[in-house]
Structure 1
Amino acid sequence: MAARGLRLLRFRSFLRDFSAPKRCLPERFYTGVQRVPGSEGRPSILARPLMFSWVGQQQQARTMFIQTQETPNPNSLKFLPGCEVLETGTFDFPNHSAAHASPLARQLFRIEGVSGVFFGRDFVTVTKLDDDTYDWQILKPDIFATIMDFFASGLPILTDEPPPSDTVIHPDDDETVQMIKELLDTRIRPTVQEDGGDIVYVGFDQESGIVKLKMQGSCSSCPSSVVTLRSGVQNMLQFYIPEVQGVEEVEDEVDSIAKEEFAKFEERMKQDIQGKKGAED
């Protein structure tokens, strides 16, 4: 049992370390957080307020000042963007699964080493893993960039989006199912959603090793959906979860009925057209 729990912990560590978000701004905008040769012994620029500048879509110069403030917890750091974060109250995101209601929180959790996010009226507190591997001097540039890009996007800080019910971890889910759900929710689903669709977990057959999935949105009618499942989703699941032997796309009863009715409708239309052509001849 202990070995199985250790495997799940290592897998969750992999999910955090899998990839950091790509920087959306040119490299020159990050030079302010790099240590200048010969500056050893002087206070790091990371301890002072930073100014990031960029040119927006309308070629108007914009500026954001992001300050940092230490907390009693050495693994947590406050980031003050100089603007309102929440109108009232606070909002806590103790893990990635809780971040479904905030685009900013979701992006912050994609940074390697981030384990928690908290919103206040005018600040964002980010908590990192209690590991010397994740130093604040390494994490800060990506956190600065993520916060800056978010406030430039105009997206709401919180949404009414409900959590994906299909990947909620239940008490009776075994280790393999938990790993499948977490991989789908944290790595596969965000990529599919960027293409205007979604992928839903339906079930896992322990005997055959087949993961049953349902494609939605643009992906449900996409000609390359089979390729997406086989070369993308299946390969990733099999690579990190040996118990997975393959994936299978399934349809619910409503979808099946709708497709059957549409096929019947198309057939009637063809017969009507052929009948009209025959009458004209």
Structure 2
Amino acid sequence: MGESLFLCHSLGAPPCSIRAHVGKHGVGLLKAERYCFFISNRLILRQILHCFTTRKLLRHLSIQTQDTPNPRSLKFLPGKPVLGSGTIDFPSPSSAECSSLARVLFEIEGVKSVFFGPDFITVTKVNEDVEWTDIKRHALDAIAKFFESGDPITTGAVHNESLSEDDDDIVSMIKELLDTRIRPTVQEDGGDVIYKGFEDGTVKLKLVGSCTGCPSSTVTLRNGIQNMLQFYIPEVDNVEQVIIKICCAM
């Protein structure tokens, strides 16, 4: 009986529960052992269910990473919508006031900029000398915790299709090509192209996300975007990148 009491106590069963089954002459010993067996199996079942639930949760929150043409940018794919549609660029910490996730990502040492797409997040580091190991680990943790929280991804304006009723025919064609043929391809690489104007045959574009500071951005503009626009729209003579300098207070 003493061994049965010890076994039940080690499994978390209160001693008073055992004593209630044990009679004056030891008649309740069998009942006590059965009770211990019941408690033991219940704990084992609970552990199995806990492991199953944990594994299911880990699969649900699995976040993939993808390299981009820019060695300083890494694309994170949470496996669920980020913005759903459109993009938003956070070139500096001061621009991230509308997004709690962007603010947390900027707190990671070595992060220069953050970019949200329809179903991805692009993180760009300050330079190639900074290792991805720590940035990636902290970013994965921050993104997973954010999606568990259920908070809104941003309260700021999202850049969607750029068409406007006030556009003339040429500008409308330029924007349509950008939105349907060019932007989806650039977004696959973790960036985006934003229309900034058309003047004297020159299309002005702003590159954001992984395109910012990318070694191949000039090739993308000239051999990719410019050639396509000129092929479909003869009025386009040139494509020019608009660069906005970000001043960060130290």
Normalising by the smaller structure, the TM-score range is 0.3 to 0.5
Superposition TM-score, scaled by structure 1 size: 0.35
Superposition TM-score, scaled by structure 2 size: 0.40
The answer to which structure, 1 or 2, has the higher relative contact order (CA under 8 A, 6+ apart) is: 2
